[in-house]
Amino acid sequence: MTESFAHSTLRPALRQAAHGVDVPEDPWSGFARRERRHRRTRLIRAAMAAVVAVTLVGVQTNVVPLPGWAPGIAVAAAPTALLDAPPRGTLAGDHAWLDMLRARISTDPPVRIDTRLGGWKVGDRDRIQLIYGSDQPGHRVALVAVPLRFGLLTKEALVWYVGPAGAGAQQMRYGGHSEGMDSPVMTLMQAEPDRGGFAVVVGPADSTVMISGDPRYTPGGTLEYQDLARADGSGVGFAVLPPAPLRNEPVVRVSRGNQVLFLGGLGGGPYAGIDPTGPEMDALVTAARRGARGTPLDDANLRNFVESALLDSHLSAAGTTVRVRWSGSERGQAAALLTVQPAGGGVIAYAMHGDVRTGWWTDLGLLLPAEGVDQRPIGWRIRADDGPRTPTDQVRVIAPPDAARVTVTVGGAPPATVTLDASNAGTTRTPPDRPATLTAYSKDGGVLGTTPVPPVEADMAGLPGDSPATRVTP
């Protein structure tokens, strides 16, 4: 009776207490619900990423077309000096012809750049822009800016098209292209030995273009050009080339006032050039040895030095005089000072070194007046071992044959005497960044001649005398 009473009394109290206790829910069911939700989210994100990736691959491989309004990542651009200028040439106003050319380019791309993923394709045809187009004797020439696209990547190419005079768009043929170049100048030369050809140069609209033939080195020590170009609009030069092979590569000079924007040769030959085995070359090499001082050069090195000098000066062996003023060695290689003089012209002093193993390098190309050239001391900077264009403070000095002594004057410092050897050659030291002048004296103390030590030129693409650093005449 006591147990029944206790059980009946405690049960309601215990039940009430149990209801008051907060028992946590089973954690597994909550975890399972959250995991199912996270899994659905991950699957959706993965599917979206896969769609985006497939789309990007399709776009990048040009399988999926990208809308014309969609921006791209530019990897190269044509010079703005050409793109921003209005179209030039007689074809600039022929809108029907230009429309046909744009249609032709968009369906028959001129530029094929192979990659592992495919190739570049022409972008928006409406953005194909004429830079220059004109008819010349026997030729129609056009320079066009073509937008290219490779998926998300974009760039512009400047493309030449060439055809017969009056050619329709379908008759125009690809003539070459350039992409993302730094120079605001485009050149094209096409020549055949039996048919002749042409050269065309397009620069900025406010520039002056010169296409020169064979140079003329005047007796006074200046360089004159035979200008082959005639203007074809502002900043454009066109030259008609003869059927016979040119003796030398034409030189292009594009300038704005006193600023030279471009200076270089035109490719596209053929050229008559120099025959190193011809009788004129044999006679030239033989005569060059007369009166040479220093250690004699072997025939191979001398022939290479002479040929390099003629090629650099654009002179032929016939009618040209070459003299070896001095020969010896430089850092274990053959070295020489030559002078080259066309008939009735100025004199070009060339300093060279090298051999058949390492090649030959030009250390000096200096145009001098013909008068008094035999009385001038000539000096050039010795190059460092780490590169032929790296100057040192050492200057090689070659005195004239009858000089008793030579001095070097650096800036406003007193003249310093240069020690000469038996061949009248020596070395001195001058800072590379300071001007220096060499002076030769006779036995009685009179001045024979003076010559500045030229600065080292980083770019030796021009002809001797084309820049103040390669001539002594102002």
Task: Say if residue 52's pLDDT is above 50.
Answer: no
Q: Provide the number of structural domains found in the chain.
A: 3
* pLDDT of 94 strictly over 90: yes
Residue at 21 is within a domain: no
The more confident residue out of 423 and 38 is 423
pLDDT: which is higher, 398 or 252: 398
Owning domain of residue 210:
183-273
Q: Given the structure tokens 């103040």, which residue do they identify?
A: 468
- Statement to judge: residues 300 and 434 lie in one domain: yes
Q: Are residues 208 and 109 in the same domain?
A: no
What is the mean pLDDT of the segment spanning 323-333?
Answer: 92
| 10 inside domain | no
**Both tokens of residue 198?**
């042409």
Calculate the CA dihedral of residues 386, 390, 395, 397 and round it to 10 degrees.
90
pLDDT at 284: 92
170 and 187 assigned to the same domain? no
Domain contains 26: no
Q: Of 273, 302, 327, which residue sits at a domain end? A: 273
| pLDDT on residue 236 | 94
223's enclosing H/E stretch is strand 223-227
Cα–Cα distance, 65 to 92 (Å, whole number): 31
Which pLDDT belongs to residue 16?
60
Tell me what pLDDT residue 456 has. Answer: 73
The CATH number of the domain holding residue 192 is 2.60.40
Domain check: are 101 and 238 in the same one? no
In a domain, 457, yes or no: yes
- What does the buried/exposed string (b/e) look like for 306-317 if buried means 16 or more CB atoms within 10 Å of the residue's CB? bbbbbebbbbbb
| Burial group, residue 60, by CB count within 10 angstroms (0-12, 13-18, 19+) | middle
Name the residue with higher pLDDT: 77 or 72: 77
What is the rounded average pLDDT of the residues 143-159? 84
pLDDT score at 57: 45
Identify the pLDDT of residue 347. 98
> Does 274 score more than 60 pLDDT?
yes
Q: Which of 242, 273, 304 is the last residue of a domain?
A: 273
* 84 falls within a domain: yes
Q: Is the pLDDT of residue 290 over 80?
A: yes
Residue 270 and residue 282: Cα distance in Å, rounded?
24
Same domain, 344 and 463: yes
| Same domain (yes/no): 296, 412 | yes
On average, the pLDDT of the chain sits at: 82
Range among 62-76, 373-387, 432-446 rated most confident = 432-446
pLDDT (tens digit, 9 = 90+) per residue, 385-395?
665 567 788 99
Residues 127 and 220 in one domain: no
* End residue of a domain, out of 273, 293, 309: 273
In a domain, 50, yes or no: no
Within-domain flag for 121:
yes
Q: What integer pLDDT is reported at residue 69 of this predicted model?
A: 47
Angle, vertex CA 339, rays to CA 258 and CA 211, nearest 5: 35
Nearest-angstrom CA–CA distance, 116 and 111 = 16
At 179 the pLDDT is: 66
Q: Assess whether 265 and 290 both reside in one domain.
A: no
